Amino acid sequence: MALVAGVPFLEILLRQLRVAGIRQVVLGTGYRAEQIEEYFRKGDRLDLLIQYSREQEPLGTGGALKLAEAMLGDPILVLNGDSYADWEFIRLIQLYREREAEVVIVLQSVPDVSRYGGIMIDSNQRVIEFVEKGSRRGPGLINAGIYLLKKKIVADLPSGHPISLEREVFPQLLGRKVYGLISTGDFIDIGVPADLERAQSLLAGHGRIAS
């Protein structure tokens, strides 16, 4: 709910989904859940159908998906609520279908991967390595926090436990059909104060906030 030019950052992400042609959304809520649900309600104002899956305790990205499993379709499009990237849904679904992928991860090129951890892909866009945060420096590709994955991956997760897709699930899928799609546009992680400040002018200036 951090404000970017007077609009909650989450609303910018939801508007991005609407522009991509997506209408049904499940929001995994925990901290300040009541405020989020009161603000967005059923999604009518944004021309969306929003449902909520509320965590009673932090479950991580994988645990949150498992909690919401009954509400989810197949494949599942997952977005982290604290980062923005100029991804294209058409390219994402095309790669998923063409390669019969189990997971497609949107990747972003950055000047220094040490803050995030990196991802290596081969010439066929297949993910071949996950690089831990801080273990390498310099330019490279990072996880942009957007995934398209088969529902079976969520179905196979244990219930009621904190699970990280990024640290626990995806590395175990190396050698299977995990692909990366490179996004070349803007990327913002609002968990970093400098990026939150940059978002104020960048997203408003490019028209992302207009309804």
Cite the active site residues.
Answer: 133
Lookup: tokens for 50: 């929003």
Per-residue tokens: 98: 């063409």
Residues near 138 by Cβ (< 8 Å), separated by ≥ 6? 111, 112, 113, 114
Residue 208's identity, in one-letter code, is R
- Residue 130 CB contacts under 8 Å (≥ 6 apart), including other chains: 117, 118, 119, 120, 170, 171, 174
Residue 10 Cα to chain centre, angstroms:
12
Which of these, 146, 80, 72, lies nearest to 107 by C-alpha position?
146
Residue 111: partners with Cβ closer than 8 Å, 6 or more residues away: 138, 139
Q: Which two tokens stand for residue 187?
A: 């990327």
Tokens of 204: 């408003």
